[in-house]
Amino acid sequence: MRTLSSALLASCLIAAPLFAQGAPAPAPARAPAKSPVSTSQGYLDAGQAELNRLLAEKPNNRKARNVIIFIGDGMGVSTLTAGRIFEGQQLGLDGESFVGEMDRLPHTALVKTYSHDAQVPDSAPTATAIVAGVKTRNGVIGVGPEAVENDCAASAPFKVQSLFGMAEDRGLATGIVSTATITHATPASAYAHTAQRDWEVDANMPAAAKAAGCTDIARQMVEWPHGNGLDVMLGGGRQHFIPATMADPEYPKAKGKRADGKDLIATWSAANPKGAYVWNSDSFAAVDPRNATKLLGLFEPSHMQFEADRTAAGNKEPSLAEMTTKAIAMLSKNRKGYVLMVEAGRIDHAHHGGNAYRALQDTVALNAALKAAMGAVDLRDTLIVVTSDHGHAFTMAGYPERGNPILGVVSAPVGTPTLAKDGKGYTTLGYANGPGAVSAAERSDPAKEDTGALNYRQQALVPLSSETHGGDDVVARAAGPKAHLFKGTIEQNTIFQIMRSALGFK
């Protein structure tokens, strides 16, 4: 994601949007710590156990039948660390030594995230690198670096094939799951080719682009020409698929956004008479994967709710874990295998809003989705990759004592705030820039505020309406066939090559 307007940030951040196969191979065993190690011998024993686990790992060089790529949008290393502590503390465990589901994956690499034309990327070129193997320009999806942003004709000759298109052309099943709009940059990279990532719906396109024959991203998803089309599509973005004259089924005062009058949901349903279209958690839960040939779920007019807001609202839309489980059940019916993308898209949105609570809660939700997948597949023939497209200007700093609440102020000992030179406290988590900064007035004292509140914005240094991405490396973790190739420091587009090689695609 790129810069959001202040109005969009406010609506995204504070309010809910208006709008198994065979016997699974066991995951590497690393039990979460219930309490900190307290002796020298305890640390030595824990280190020996870790060494024994590493020595026991054997490379899996088998061909993968399935690939699942999990993407935490904006989930940089600081988010991973803070998210781990946050999850452990929520469970009443020692957060610092807690072992989350992502931590259980045995193979790890650092990933360079720069795009073809920028030190700090947005999600469009990074997702294209991950699923199509090509670094490209900020702002474009599914086209090479020769493309020109916003120029349809100049970009059209440089379409790049995604792993999903390759899979469909070979008869495999394909699916995309996201908590963002299903037409957003990351999920769109699986199926779309566009000179502007914001062309999610035709109403967002300039007349010149339409005249040049450009197609909006929502239409590209429904009209995708590879194989028999995507088999599973679950996420937000209903408004991009229905005309501006049509009321939303969940929010009657809201309308669609299509200017061309097309009802793409009706078009998809007519083309897939045995497929299932759903828009809420009840209809989603009622879908039987044994009977439905395909599944389209659009659960909000815009992005799906943040996980913290979703649960507070009574679970009116499915969780990321529930969508992942259903997607695997649908795709597993194809004996040739499948390729599935699962994106925790709203980690990014919370960071843009300077709100660590929601970012970390959505990171926990991604861990839950990964755990669901690990319990549903056989790692002997399924490659699972967990990574991020980019990081954020999100910091974890100070000298808080062990066990200090991760959302709290820096304290040593716990309960005694450490004071800055202005005599005020400061939080462990913060942002280098964003809406949490003050441009003229004195900063408030976090030690006198509820920094653990859902809507609390961490303080930032540089005042911006939207916090920005970071250019630091991110982490890729993997298990299954060819997972051992994730090692050292790799280019982001190499992730595609490893997945392609695991599937045996030429």
| CB-based contact 432:462 (threshold 8 Å) | yes
Q: Identify the DSSP state of 145.
A: T
Q: How far apart are CA 159 and CA 195, in angstroms?
A: 10
| CB-based contact 147:134 (threshold 8 Å) | no
Q: For the chain, first and last CA: distance in Å?
A: 31
| CB-based contact 131:189 (threshold 8 Å) | yes
String of DSSP letters for 104-170: G-SEEEEEE--BTTBSS--HHHHHHHHHHS----TT-BSB-TT--TT-HHHHGGGB---HHHHHHHT
SS3 500: helix
Nearest Cα residue to 130 out of 339, 438, 405: 339
H/E stretch holding 84: helix 77-90
Quote the radius of gyration of the chain (alpha carbons, Å): 22
SS3 385: strand
Phi, psi for 125 (deg, rounded to 5):
-70, -30
| CB-based contact 371:321 (threshold 8 Å) | yes
The structure tokens 């956004």 sit at: 257
Q: How far apart are CA 452 and CA 463, in angstroms?
A: 22
| CB-based contact 458:431 (threshold 8 Å) | yes
Q: Is 123 a catalytic residue?
A: yes
Q: Which residues are paired to 295 by β-bridges? A: 232, 276
Q: How far apart are CA 252 and CA 250, in angstroms?
A: 6
Catalytic residue among 11, 78, 115, 123: 123
Amino acid at 148: V
Catalytic residue annotation: 123
